[in-house]
A and B are shown apart, each in its own frame.
Chain A
């Protein structure tokens, strides 16, 4: 009775931990960050090395008494006796009176050692926390016991699963006013300073998730003083170095300008000490900062993702902005005028950023930094590639065919791609652009677009057109380096369309769909994500992954999100900077997950909770064999190339000829 044992073990552990509660949760959190070498090590990458004890998950932390604890993490230097941390601590306590930066606490109390001892003790018997939320809630431990337990608290949790699909725990009441929204708090401090009253504090936790608005609704008009605003799972703000608001995921930038001002004050305050502010932790939220050139991006998340993941998401937001304006123009604009209001140039693009953030939350492509292609017979994929390969014109560099928002095939110009490959992130941005704009269904689109990872300073010209109106599921995307090439490129589309009609490709594509995990033929396997790495035979190709449809029990939006959260958690453990793991066997409340990374692939699997470890291992062997067999259908195996450019220096990458474009794009004239 594994469950029982785990419960028992935890019981002891929990009691022991409850008495000398360290005053700050940050000690616990910091152990997961890069600063402290961790005693807990990864498991060897062969399945047989998974020990039975790995099952017996034990809570790593419980923090329910750390009501008001907050922390700030500054990346450089990480030393404990950082005088700046003290100054910052003081300033933060001034801003909001609940800030207890951990460094201060640690110096005072010396509890850090105690924590680490506990930690190393745990690591002897477990390699894995039992639950996604293990780090913050004691009551989470009951999740480990699944429905078998008679613990009433557990039932309570189960029934109050937040509807936003997060695995956040709806928490019991003694935590109710503990999680203060850092930014709101900062803003409040600022408002109080200005003599403006702010309505009484309320807990975002109490009603957490219950009012979460469905995705894909415009939140621009939202009342930023309302509780519902604070309860969003993930806020994203973009501001300029001068503190000017540029974008907010929820609520209007104007309404949030004082909040953003405070954020910027925080950033520049830390900067003044030659430091970079990276993150702030509160009980319920993680605030992550990312500075890119003249832009500051801030994420306030209660999703329990790792800082690294959240920063990665902010980077996507940055890239999406770059894709519309280019890095060069943004720097130039702010060089000329520090307090330029970039919203002028981003006006109308909020929808694209909103769409991106919704995708980031719901599509694992972003987490895995890989593209998902639609499984089709390799013969069909080859014939589509050939069609694209034949319809070319000078300066055409990429021909991409998309169906149902997934890649069908991608054909690229030889010379341009010689020294670089198309990055998944660039493809994600393109897919998002296509998805976010219904206008594409109107006709043929010709638009400048920058692929930030390919070259952040140059524009490509994208021709976008649907091939199957009025359904509009099959989309052709042709990228040229020549802005005058519309007619030539449109002619390519005509050719492609003709060839596809001749080969009846559209109806074949219409039949293509994502596959069911049942095709693998492993009974306990519910879902997986498999991402092969660069291996000699697909070296320098687009990074891809494959994943079946999410089916029952993950059919509802909430459940999908819950599974994704579990994956995100596994991913954060695998990619943890302080203690990367190669293999994790994780028994969650309602499923069992296994994540495994080798030099050849990264694999995340989800099993029914009843699976035994031995079963899971055989299942994975079977799964890998199945993927090998289906490889040609699941992936774009050998992306074909064409040669359109007799003179490679014309290419956006190697030649600087296109640099011209960002200059004559005239942003400067707008200043």
Chain B
């Protein structure tokens, strides 16, 4: 799973929630932070490799290193900053054009939901973009923890569906309870998997 989005939108904070269910004040990420997280679904356990990329522009050029071959991409924006919403759309374009056509389950995540009083991007807008582009949409707050576990669970489900469905059977995955969800090779075996709509 790769987290993409402008600097300061809360990617690292989300990752921290995923990993440890904690919220700290963070520093801007340098390069990319890597962590793993095990998610239990009813019939399978998935091990997520989470790539928390740096939103800073100077690292833009190295992010392909991390999102290539990702099964899930979270495009994160800050609901209280319109420019981060625009930036998320740029990320989407890049994902679509360059690297992973359809092989990746993409979420649009409006973070900092706790800052509703300063909201600059409405729920409808986020929802609209998502359905237009065939993305999943959710609003979260890394600060309060709201919708974090829902997000992780549904990412796990969709990814599992997407991979499992394409493989034409789940047995393989059930035999090995811990599944490597990210492969470094660019020749993605699931490249033909179609986009999943909400």
Contact = CB atoms under 8 A, between A and B. Distances in A.
Contact of B29 (A439, A666, A667): A439
B32 interface: yes
A487 B33 CA distance: 13
A446 B19 contact: no
Given A442-B16, A442-B35, A486-B34, A348 B56 contact: yes
Interface in A49-70: none
A348 B30 CA distance: 9
A653 B173 CA distance: 45
A347 B55 CA distance: 10
A68 B62 CA distance: 53
A438 interface: yes
Given A324-B58, A443-B19, A443-B35, A437 B30 contact: yes
Contacts of A670: 57, 60
A628 interface: no
Main secondary structure of the interface of B (DSSP, over half): mixed
Given A484-B184, A666-B60, A666-B61, A445 B31 contact: yes
A443 B34 contact: yes
B57 A442 contact: no
B52 interface: yes
B15 to A, nearest CB: 7
Contacts of A346: 58
Contact of B58 (A437, A440, A667): A667
B56 A349 contact: yes
Contact of A348 (B15, B24, B28, B184): B28
A439 B32 contact: no
A442 B58 contact: no
A442 B62 contact: no
A452 B9 CA distance: 31
Contacts of A486: 34, 65
B54 interface: yes
B162 interface: no
Given A346-B58, A484-B65, A437 B184 contact: no
Contacts, number: 97
Interface string A620-659: 0000000000000000000000000000000000000000
Q: Which of B28, B50, B60 has the most CB of A within 10 A?
A: B28
A17 to B, nearest CB: 52
Contacts of A665: 61-62
A536 to B, nearest CB: 39
Contacts of A666: 60-61
A471 interface: no
Given A347-B7, A348-B7, A448 B62 contact: yes
A666 B15 CA distance: 27
Contacts of B15: 442-443
A442 B61 contact: no
B56 A347 contact: yes
B149 to A, nearest CB: 19
Contacts of B8: 348
Contacts of B29: 437, 439
Contacts of B117: none
A405 interface: no
B12 interface: yes
Contacts of A443: 15, 19, 33-35, 50, 52
A344 interface: yes
Given A442-B52, A448-B59, 19 more contacts: A347-B7, A347-B58, A348-B28, A348-B56, A349-B28, A436-B27, A437-B27, A437-B28, A438-B25, A439-B12, A440-B33, A443-B15, A446-B31, A446-B32, A446-B34, A462-B31, A483-B65, A484-B65, A666-B61
22 contacts: A344-B57, A346-B58, A348-B28, A351-B28, A437-B27, A439-B27, A440-B30, A442-B12, A443-B15, A443-B19, A443-B50, A445-B30, A446-B32, A446-B65, A447-B30, A447-B31, A447-B59, A448-B59, A449-B31, A483-B62, A486-B34, A669-B61
Interface of B: 7-8, 12, 15-16, 19, 24-35, 50, 52, 54-62, 65, 184
What 5 A-B pairs are tightest by C-beta distance, nearest first?
A447-B31, A666-B61, A443-B35, A348-B28, A348-B56
